[in-house]
Structure 1
Amino acid sequence: MNPADLASFYEVAVCKGIRRASERLDIAPSALSKHIKRLEGELGIKLLDRSSRGVVLTPAGEVCLHYAEEVLHGQRRMLAELEALKGLRNGHVKLYSTEGQIEFVTQTVAGFQQRYPGVTFEIVVAGTETTLAAVTSGDADLGLAFTPTPHDAIECALRISAPLEAVMAPTHELARRKSISLREMLNHRTALPASDFGIRRLIDSICAGERLRVAPAMVTNSIAAMKNYARNQGGITILSHMSIHHELDAGDLVSIPLSHPILGKTCVDVCVLGRRRLPQAVSAYLQHMRKQVRTLYGQDGGGR
């Protein structure tokens, strides 16, 4: 089987159209069509149905796409590992992360590249579900997700305890408390994340079960906006130390533990595709991340 034929079929199937795939690959549509016809001829079965709206996979095409994904991902892993054998002079890590962990991610990436300057990174900020989907599909090498639900295809390579706390300006009337309840926090002006954030889904679930009223003064899809709201004395927000350690060190914000037991057990998982052998650059970065968790948070991290 010609690798170019398989790669052409894969791009056309993913793009759902020959023209879009040709633009992505910078190959003439006629050349792509020849690759696919040759593959169909070799296999003796039709893989694509063409229409004015694009292409649709036949049942045989669905089988072939699954196989093509495994082959092409295997090729990329092989090339990455061969590059790694050169002593990590080269390598690439693609990482998805929820926004609250970006400060930690960029800090660890910068430290890692001081030792391995030839390793490049691509970092995508996304919600938990998108992050898990990217890891499952092989689009991401690693995914940092806040308290993700269990997933059969995903393993936790590193778990970081990240309890949620009430965050406010040092001048707030509750800033000297040792702990506060969720009910008490919600009785003050609060800034909460949008409903698609893991933090918000958790809060809404608890409040529904305990019949607490949620009426935030501000809702946003930006962690930075939540921090600035609290720092500028707008009210209280709810975040973990991973999102605010610079502001805590600078004295711009304070964090007060929340007495609710569920909110004190939240975590961030560094997720990988189960049973996948990680490229050396990814494995080396994961080990560096584990060391930073011990240094910054005094945690072992566990996981794979």
Structure 2
Amino acid sequence: MNLSLRQLRIFETVARRLSYTRAAEELHLSQPAVSMQVRQLEEEVGMPLFERLGRTVALTEAGHELYHYSRSINQSLKDLEEVIAAVKGLDHGRLSVAVASTVKYFAPRLLALFQRRYPGIALELDITNREQLVRLLEANNVDLVLMGQPPDGVDLESEVFLDNPLVVVAPPDHPLARLDRVPSVALADQVFLMREPGSGTRKALERYFEEQGLALRAGMQMTRNEAIKQAVRSGLGLSVVSAHTIELELETKRLVVLDVEGFPLSRHWYLVYRRGKRLSPAARAFRDLVLSEARSLADLAGVTVLERYRASP
């Protein structure tokens, strides 16, 4: 068989994501280009590698076998790149970082600082939800991950790099915004806009209501913080979000933080990677930068800025 490394890389991405669209986005290619490469690979193999089940894509038996070997080949090539990069030092190299959707508001500050210090390193950034981050870690398909609570069941190294306070937000004209101190029982009558199941923010909110002995009135479920903030502004309900995600909304007074009993909820952001993973020089440099510089870069976020914009009585 005359298989190209490009075809194997594209196939491995489609097989991992089980979506031509998401694979094209990750690879920065058009969907037709991805489909064409997979089709050519199938012609070379002489067997279909994917089958469509309604709107979903699944691997065939041959696809499963090729996925196993393509992952091994692509990982070996990545290891080779890291060895070559180590020989060259930090003047060249590649770094892939995946971040949780809540971290995307802060991660650009870290990446911008890293790029200024190491302009020769090519950066790849993937912003996605917790479920996909876990898959990336399980498959060891990313150098470093910035996320909330690391998942159980995956052999990982994790280090706290920043506090991540969670707060209750409301539109400025909400009745509770006039209170100097909102008792927890007052939240029982409020509808809360929710993140998707498995979200760390959602788990923290559900745990808070359980500890307070209150029933949580769950409203619309959304997977993106921007959608949740817009829905809160429109009066569809309250929500709990990371303080780092609402800096602009607080400055422009589009949202207010309610002074709720027991809030902000204390959580953390972690730098995560597979245990035993050999970090490239670029990955080690980024890890060191995150652990040493994150707190100073966060001086405009967190509890201190919240005190300045706390809802007035």
CA RMSD of aligned residues (A): 4.2
Q: Are the aligned partners of 1:93 and 1:121 in contact in 2 as well (CA < 8 Å)?
A: yes
Q: Are the aligned partners of 1:168 and 1:235 in contact in 2 as well (CA < 8 Å)?
A: yes
**Residues 1:72 and 1:257: Cα distance change in structure 2 (over 3 Å):** farther
Where structure 2 has 5 or more consecutive residues not aligned to the other structure, the ranges are: 16-33, 52-58, 300-313
Pick aligned residue for 1:56 from 33, 53, 61: 61
Q: Are the aligned partners of 2:165 and 2:266 in contact in 1 as well (CA < 8 Å)?
A: yes
Counterpart residue number, 2:267: 266
Give 1:269's aligned amino acid: Y
**Residues 1:250 and 1:278: Cα distance change in structure 2 (over 3 Å):** farther
Q: Report the CA distance between 1:104 and its aligned residue.
A: 0.7
User: For 1:138 and 1:52, how far apart are their aligned partners in 2?
Assistant: 23
**Residues 1:272 and 1:28: Cα distance change in structure 2 (over 3 Å):** closer
User: For 1:51 and 1:90, how far apart are their aligned partners in 2?
Assistant: 36
Q: Report the CA distance between 1:109 and its aligned residue.
A: 1.7
Query: SS at 1:271's partner residue?
Result: strand
**1:238 matches 2:243:** no
Moved more, 248-257 or 266-275: 248-257
Q: Report the CA distance between 1:264 and its aligned residue.
A: 2.1
Query: SS at 2:177's partner residue?
Result: coil
Query: SS at 1:175's partner residue?
Result: helix
**Residues 1:286 and 1:216: Cα distance change in structure 2 (over 3 Å):** same
Q: Deviations over 1:143-188 (max 9, x none)?
A: 2222233334121134432121112344444336565455423423
Counterpart residue number, 1:301: none
Give 2:142's aligned amino acid: A
Question: 1:63-212, aligned counterparts within 5 Å?
Answer: 69=71, 72-175=74-177, 180-207=182-209, 212=214
Percent identical pairs in the alignment equals: 19
**Residues 1:146 and 1:179: Cα distance change in structure 2 (over 3 Å):** farther
User: For 1:15 and 1:233, how far apart are their aligned partners in 2?
Assistant: 40
User: For 2:157 and 2:75, how far apart are their aligned partners in 1?
Assistant: 18
User: For 1:220 and 1:12, how far apart are their aligned partners in 2?
Assistant: 30
Q: Are the aligned partners of 1:10 and 1:65 in contact in 2 as well (CA < 8 Å)?
A: no
Q: Are the aligned partners of 2:192 and 2:218 in contact in 1 as well (CA < 8 Å)?
A: yes
Q: Are the aligned partners of 1:164 and 1:258 in contact in 2 as well (CA < 8 Å)?
A: no
TM-score, length of structure 1 as denominator length? 0.69
User: For 2:170 and 2:267, how far apart are their aligned partners in 1?
Assistant: 20
User: For 2:120 and 2:91, how far apart are their aligned partners in 1?
Assistant: 5
Q: Report the CA distance between 1:7 and its aligned residue.
A: 10
Q: Are the aligned partners of 1:8 and 1:32 in contact in 2 as well (CA < 8 Å)?
A: no
User: For 2:60 and 2:144, how far apart are their aligned partners in 1?
Assistant: 31
Q: Are the aligned partners of 2:99 and 2:126 in contact in 1 as well (CA < 8 Å)?
A: yes
**Residues 1:116 and 1:31: Cα distance change in structure 2 (over 3 Å):** same
**Residues 1:150 and 1:256: Cα distance change in structure 2 (over 3 Å):** farther
**Residues 1:182 and 1:222: Cα distance change in structure 2 (over 3 Å):** farther
Counterpart residue number, 2:228: 226
**Residues 1:8 and 1:126: Cα distance change in structure 2 (over 3 Å):** closer
